[in-house]
Chains A and B, each alone.
Chain A
Amino acid sequence: MPPPLIVLRDVARIYGAGEAEVRALDGVNLTIRQGEFVAIMGPSGSGKSTAMNIIGCLDRPTAGQFLFQGIEVQGLDQDRRALLRRHCLGFVFQGFNLLARSSALENVELPLIYKGQPRALREARARAALEKVGLQGRESADPSQLSGGQQQRVAIARALAGDPMLILADEPTGNLDSHRSHEIMLLLQQLNREEGITIVMVTHEEDIAAYAGRLLVFTDGKLTRDSAQPERR
Chain B
Amino acid sequence: MLWETLRLAVTTIIRNKLRSFLTVLGVVIGVAAVIAMVTIGQGSSAQVSASVEALGTNVLIVRPGSRGFGPPGGGEAAPKFTLKDAEALRTLPQIAYLAPINSGGQTVVYGNANAATQVYGSTADYLRVQNWPLLSGRNFAEGEETSGAAVCLIGATVQAKLFGNADPLGETIRVKSVACNVIGTLAAKGAGSFGQDQDDLVLMPIKTVQRRLEGNKDVTSISIALRKSVTSADGIKAVQDLLRERRRIAIGQADNFSVTDMKEITSMLSGVNSVLTGLLSSVAAVSLLVGGIGIMNIMLVSVTERTREIGIRLAVGASAGQVLQQFLVEAIVLSLLGGIIGIGAGLGLAYVGSIYMAIPFAPSGSVVALAFGFSALVGVVFGYFPARRAAKLDPIEALRHQ
Contact = CB atoms under 8 A, between A and B. Distances in A.
A85 B309 CA distance: 16
Interface in B296-343: 308-309, 311-322
A97 B399 CA distance: 8
Contacts of B355: none
A111 B316 contact: yes
Given A113-B4, A114-B322, A99 B309 contact: yes
Nearest to A113: B4
B396 A85 contact: no
Contact of B1 (A79, A85, A97, A116): A116
B312 A86 contact: no
Nearest to A99: B309
B395 interface: yes
Interface in A45-86: 53, 56, 58-59, 78-79, 82-83, 85-86
Contacts of A114: 313, 316-319, 322
Contacts, number: 58
Interface size class of A (residues with CB under 8 A): 20 to 34
A89 B318 CA distance: 12
A58 B396 contact: yes
Interface in B1-52: 1, 4, 15
Nearest to A79: B319
A110 B395 contact: no
A87 interface: yes
Given A78-B320, A85-B316, A86-B317, A101 B396 contact: no
Contacts of B315: 56, 58, 85, 91, 97
A82 B318 contact: yes
B316 A59 contact: no
A211 interface: no
Given A58-B395, A101-B15, A113-B4, A83 B317 contact: yes
Contact of B308 (A90, A97, A101, A116): A97
Contact of A85 (B308, B317, B320): B317
A110 B309 CA distance: 11
Nearest to B397: A58
Contacts of B322: 114
A97 B312 CA distance: 7
Contacts of A90: 316
Interface of B: 1, 4, 15, 308-309, 311-322, 395-396, 399
Interface of A: 53, 56, 58-59, 78-79, 82-83, 85-87, 89-91, 93, 97-99, 101, 110-111, 113-116, 158, 162
16 contacts: A58-B314, A58-B315, A58-B396, A82-B319, A82-B320, A83-B317, A86-B316, A86-B318, A97-B311, A97-B312, A110-B312, A111-B316, A114-B313, A114-B318, A158-B316, A162-B316
